[in-house]
Amino acid sequence: MAKGNKRISIADLAAELGLAISTVSRALNNAPDVSGATKAQVWALAEKWNYQPNSLAASLRRGRSNMLGVIVPHINGAFFPAVVHGIENGASQAGLNVLICQSNEDARQEQKHVEALLKAQVDGILVSASNTTEDLAHFERIRAQGTPLVFFDRMPALPQACGVVVDDYRGAYQVMEHLIGQGCRRIAHLAGPPHLNTTAERLRAYREALLAHGLPFDEQLVVPLDNSTTDAGAAAMRRLLGLYQPPDAVFSAYDFPAGGALQLLEERGIRVPQDVALVGFSNEPFTTMVRPRLSSVDQRGVLMGEAAVQLFLQLLKRTELFSGRRIVLKPQLVVRESSVRR
């Protein structure tokens, strides 16, 4: 072992081999203008001395850090972890490290994370916007810096934003057709935030599917959720049951509130799906553990993450070509006991 405990650099290798630093550098990078013989020498010594390149220095010189910044609202539930997993798949294939940040549905934290990521010189930023994000200045700033930016799932209303989303409208529409096909005529909707593209689309599909099938759209049947917890779902369900004409089906924009609604219905002795059919959204693992099993819509998390990285890589090559480009994934309705009437 050379140099005692100190970390060794290409200068050390160069000195030992009597080569120039630049030659060692190109040898390690397998450049074409280094002979095979010297490459072999360099590689051998690097191996022997366990040389670890200082990626900070390389990044500084190159101008890029080989790091990908990711901002998610949270990593609870199953969806965002799945996306993160997909991102890591794609990133490791491309030789990129991934910096993950949680905004906790807080716009201020999101801004902070954007600043931090830009300061850390990430090569690109992948973000799913928080619930509370109204001001979009920090996203503009990313573009201004020339850093590739791609959204996933939650896309803010930016004209030329790139991103990959699931076709929420289509998924929700399938839910509605399914419920209507099961004979439900008075379908309620537990709605997410109206300013989120995802939940807005689900609501739009809810409405348009009703009208398309000659069913009335009753505003009383649309209950906004304060958050995506079981409690919020139970509260919303309680309100629906207090109606003069309660619904015979509930389509929830999220799974956990659907679970909460299920609990309340159980307490009240209302049968699911016979009295009230129930469908959620996200296909959380717990949907198969409750009784009756909860129908839901799968959002293709892993696929979404991988697609987001692909889009980023394309953006890296030719920014202008992919401006405004968005990839739309097909969701998958998973029908279970909670919505099947016999």
Partner DNA sequence: TAACTTATCGGTATCGTTTCCGAATATCTT
Partner DNA sequence: AAGATATTCGGAAACGATACCGATAAGTTA
Whether 273 and 340 have beta carbons less than 8 Å apart is answered as yes
Q: Residue 110: exposed, middle, or buried by beta-carbon count in 10 A (0-12, 13-18, 19+)?
A: buried
- Using CB under 8 A as the binding rule, whether residue 102 contacts a second copy is answered as yes
Please report, as a single letter, which amino acid is at residue 63.
G
The residue count for binding DNA (CB under 7 A) is 31
- What part of residues 188-227 is at the interface with a second copy (CB under 8 A)? none
- How far apart, in Å, are the Cα atoms of 38 and each of 15, 22, 29, 260? 14, 12, 13, 68
> In this structure, how many other beta carbons lie within 10 angstroms of the beta carbon of residue 21?
14
Torsion angle (degrees, nearest 10) of CA 207, 209, 211, 212: 160
In whole angstroms, what is the distance from residue 146 CA to residue 283 CA? 36
**Of 35 and 54, CB closest to a second copy:** 54
- Which x/- pattern, by CB under 8 A, does the window 34-53 give for a second copy? ------------------xx
The interface partner of residue 38, options being DNA, a second copy, none and the CB cut-off 5 to 8 Å by kind, is: DNA
- Using CB under 8 A as the binding rule, whether residue 98 contacts a second copy is answered as yes
- How far apart, in Å, are the Cα atoms of 11 and each of 20, 23, 52? 8, 10, 12
- Using CB under 8 A as the binding rule, whether residue 93 contacts a second copy is answered as no
**Of 44 and 60, CB closest to a second copy:** 60
**Of 26 and 170, CB closest to DNA:** 26
Shortest distance (Å) from residue 59 CB to DNA: 8
- Using CB under 7 A as the binding rule, whether residue 145 contacts DNA is answered as no
Q: What is the 3-state secondary structure (H, E, C) of 230-294?
A: HHHHHHHHHHHHCCCCCCCEEEECCHHHHHHHHHHHHHCCCCCCCCCEEECCECCHHHHCCCCCC
- Report residue 91 CA to chain centroid gap: 14
In whole angstroms, what is the distance from residue 341 CA to residue 269 CA? 17
The residue count for binding a second copy (CB under 8 A) is 47
**Of 46 and 232, CB closest to DNA:** 46
**Of 31 and 212, CB closest to DNA:** 31
**Of 197 and 296, CB closest to a second copy:** 296
Nearest to 176 by CA among 201, 194, 149, 196: 201
- Using CB under 8 A as the binding rule, whether residue 56 contacts a second copy is answered as yes
The interface partner of residue 25, options being a second copy, DNA, none and the CB cut-off 5 to 8 Å by kind, is: DNA
Position among 111, 131, 199, 230 found at the interface with a second copy (CB under 8 A): 230
SS3 28: helix
Per CB under 8 A, residues contacting a second copy are 5, 7, 52-57, 59-60, 65, 67, 74-76, 78, 81, 84-85, 88, 92, 97-102, 112, 116, 118-121, 145-146, 230, 256, 259, 262-263, 266, 285-286, 288-291
Per CB under 7 A, residues contacting DNA are 7, 9-11, 18-23, 25-26, 28-29, 32-38, 51-54, 57-58, 60-63
